[in-house]
């Protein structure tokens, strides 16, 4: 047993004894509520705004006009005088306990209080000789006894594993983490506001589906006992369902929700993440580009106050990026040709393209298992994407890579599709939707063949979706964005786990 473990065990036992002492004395150490008058920061602001009496003035005549509550973050005793820091969701304020104010017995009971306990404190604000607004406590109540201490009194949690597994400790001790997740919440709220301002309706679609449609990705599967049927956790935020809703008569809809992809984990990929998708009838992908630029200008001004934001590049260095539109547009074909001198339009099958990739000595993992579309995508990700800072629209994706996208009128080998790429991360994927049921059925058949050949990310066949399309779809365009990625970008995080409150982790075992 380590020395640190011994210290933790001793601390736990000491606090447990204090809890028993309190209970034996007839106190209830876990209360159900506390009615405060101010949050901690509100109390400090009140003292600064209204002014406070000098300590000498209030010693014998302290008022009980301020009641605050929160977690005790620090505590130091100097004989008959003790100071602490109380923290709630707004921040911290200093509190002061004086034996001459509380009385000898009440002051002595502070020995049963520990850092991390939740307290309710009432009293009068004053300013110390160092100029700090402080609550002189005339009465305090133990609201909840903590049996374990907080880590790192002054520096917060630093161990990354602890941060992810015990997020509550990270939030308690690291104000920057709390601020980051508050930003995420505000960002999503403003996103919803923008949709509402533009006439969109929010919808909800199933998480369990009989077909893994909406993206090229490997799904999670599960068995439904009552129906005795296997289902998939969705890999997109209801793409095919949302299109069916458009067919049903809605014209502007969106969804924000969790999606699941049974793929590798790295700093820019999670298997469970939050996606936003929307669809609009009678729009094409050009309309989506303009809407995307307008959306980001609104979101950035509302959340950061500027269109120029500082992000971390792929090497971790800060770099300013301006989101003022219009943004540049580059085709996938042109970028790949520029970066490795391979013209993807010359190849009609995966084998011939793979031969050329090998001739250029470009290594792509499991390339032999990939269909033409996914091979092109992996080539782009290998030679071009790491160089992109953006914001930039990547256009003209090959048809094989986009089984749900509309074919281009002039060149049927490509689709009317774009991705918003920032700092090498694909933030948005969007396209004019394929509404021809015959083309859609053929595209699903081609994807099914690729999956049989070993391409695990190929799109699954979806006969129900084709059936819906045969009843008639209007012209439409759709769009998907990874919420975690854009929040990570805007908060200068290089790992998506740092913008997800409870990222999925391998379970710990004894």
Q: DSSP readout, 226-247?
A: TTTEEEEE-SSSSHHHHHHHHH
* Per-residue model confidence (pLDDT) at position 389: 85
Exposed/middle/buried for 74, CB within 10 Å: 0-12, 13-18, 19+?
Answer: middle
Q: How far is CA 2 from CA 8, 9, 151, 306, in A?
A: 10, 11, 16, 50
CATH number for the domain running over 173-326+432-450+460-499: 3.30.930.10
DSSP tag of 464: H
Q: H helices within 25-66, ranges in order? A: 40-50, 55-58
pLDDT digits (tens, 9 = 90+) for 148-173: 999 865 566 788 888 999 999 999 99
Closest to 351 measured CA to CA, from 333, 374, 332, 368 = 368
Parts of the chain belonging to CATH 3.30.930.10: 173-326+432-450+460-499
Closest to 456 measured CA to CA, from 365, 344, 356, 346 = 365
pLDDT digits (tens, 9 = 90+) for 325-363: 999 999 999 999 999 999 998 888 899 999 999 999 999
pLDDT digits (tens, 9 = 90+) for 62-92: 788 999 999 999 999 989 999 999 999 999 9
Over its C-alpha atoms, the chain yields an Rg (Å, rounded) of 29
pLDDT digits (tens, 9 = 90+) for 198-250: 999 999 999 998 887 777 778 899 999 999 999 999 999 989 999 999 999 99
Closest to 239 measured CA to CA, from 429, 449, 400 = 429
CB-facing half-sphere around the CA of 242: CA atoms within 13 A: 33
- Domain 3-150 coded CATH 2.40.50.140: yes
Residue with tokens 């160092």: 130
DSSP tag of 414: B
Global pTM reads 0.88
Token representation of residue 321 = 């990026």
Q: How far is CA 67 from CA 56, 63, 119, 145, in A?
A: 21, 11, 11, 19
Parts of the chain belonging to CATH 2.40.50.140: 3-150
What is the percentage of the chain residues whose pLDDT exceeds 90?
70
Token representation of residue 260 = 């699941």
- 48's CB contacts (< 8 A; 6+ apart) are 133
Residue with tokens 């190929």: 458
pLDDT digits (tens, 9 = 90+) for 270-320: 999 999 999 999 999 999 999 999 999 999 999 999 999 999 887 888 889
Q: Are strands 66-78 and 81-88 parallel, antiparallel or unpaired?
A: antiparallel
CA angle in degrees (0–180, nearest 5) for 119-122-125: 120
């Amino acid at each position: 047993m380590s020395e640190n473990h011994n210290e933790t065990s001793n601390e736990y036992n000491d606090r447990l004894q204090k809890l028993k002492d309190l209970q034996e004395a007839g106190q209830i150490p876990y209360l159900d509520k506390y009615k405060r008058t101010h949050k901690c920061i509100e109390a400090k602001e009140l003292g600064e705004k209204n002014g406070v009496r000098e300590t000498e003035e209030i010693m014998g005549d302290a008022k009980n006009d301020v009641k605050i509550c929160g977690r005790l973050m620090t505590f130091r005793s100097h004989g008959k005088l003790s100071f602490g820091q109380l923290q709630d969701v707004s921040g911290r304020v200093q509190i002061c306990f004086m034996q001459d104010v509380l009385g000898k017995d009440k002051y002595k009971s502070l020995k049963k209080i520990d850092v991390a306990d939740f307290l309710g404190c009432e009293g009068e604000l004053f300013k110390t000789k160092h100029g700090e607004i402080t609550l002189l406590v005339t009465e305090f109540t133990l609201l909840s006894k903590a049996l374990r201490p907080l880590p790192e009194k002054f520096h917060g949690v630093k161990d990354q594993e602890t941060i992810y597994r015990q997020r509550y400790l990270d939030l308690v001790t690291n104000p920057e983490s709390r601020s980051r997740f508050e930003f995420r919440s505000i960002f999503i709220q403003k996103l919803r506001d923008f949709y509402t301002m533009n006439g969109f309706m929010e919808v909800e679609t199933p998480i369990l589906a009989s077909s893994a449609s909406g993206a090229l990705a490997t799904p999670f599967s599960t068995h439904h006992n009552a129906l005795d049927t296997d289902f998939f956790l969705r890999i997109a935020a209801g793409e095919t369902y949302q299109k069916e809703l458009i067919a049903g008569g809605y014209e502007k809809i969106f969804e924000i929700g969790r999606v699941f992809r049974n793929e590798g984990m790295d700093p820019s990929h999670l298997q469970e993440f939050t996606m936003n998708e929307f669809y609009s009838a009678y729009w094409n992908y050009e309309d989506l580009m303009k809407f995307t630029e307008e959306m980001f200008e609104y979101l950035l001004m509302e959340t950061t106050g500027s269109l120029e934001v500082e992000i971390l590049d792929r090497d971790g260095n800060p770099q300013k990026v301006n989101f003022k539109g219009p943004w540049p547009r580059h085709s996938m074909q042109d970028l790949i040709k520029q970066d490795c001198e391979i013209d993807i339009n010359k190849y009609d099958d995966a084998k011939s393209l793979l031969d050329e990739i090998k001739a250029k000595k470009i290594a792509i993992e499991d390339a032999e298992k990939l269909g033409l579309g996914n091979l092109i995508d992996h080539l782009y990700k290998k030679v071009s994407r790491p160089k992109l800072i953006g914001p930039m629209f990547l256009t003209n994706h090959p048809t094989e890579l986009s089984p749900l996208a509309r074919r281009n009128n002039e060149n049927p080998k490509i689709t009317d599709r774009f991705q918003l790429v920032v700092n090498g991360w694909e933030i948005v994927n969007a396209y004019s939707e394929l509404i021809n049921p015959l083309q859609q059925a053929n595209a699903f058949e081609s994807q099914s063949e690729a999956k049989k050949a070993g391409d695990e990310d190929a799109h699954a066949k979806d006969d129900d979706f084709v059936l819906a399309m045969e009843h008639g779809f209007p012209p439409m365009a759709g769009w998907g964005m990874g919420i975690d990625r854009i929040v990570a970008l805007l908060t200068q995080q290089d790992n998506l786990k740092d913008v997800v409150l409870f990222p999925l982790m391998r379970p710990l075992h004894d």
